[in-house]
Structure 1
Amino acid sequence: MIFDTSIPIIRKKAINRIKHLLDKKAKIEVLEKKKNRTYSQNNYLHLILGWYALEYGDTLEEIKQEHFKKNVNPDLFRTEFINYKTGEIRERWRSTRELNTGEMSSAIERFRNYSVKSLGLYLPEPGDLVHLDEIKNQLEQHHNKIYL
Structure 2
Amino acid sequence: MKRIALFPGSFDPFTKGHEDIVLRSLKLFDEVVVAIGHNTKKQRYFDIDLMLDKIKSAFKDYPNVKVVLYDELTAKLAEKFDASFLVRGLRNTTDFEYENSISQINKHLNVGLETVFLITSPELAPISSSIIREVHKYGEDVSAFLPYDL
Fold shared per TM-score above 0.5: no
Higher strand share: 2
Name the larger-Rg structure. 1
> TM-score, structure 1 length as denominator?
0.29
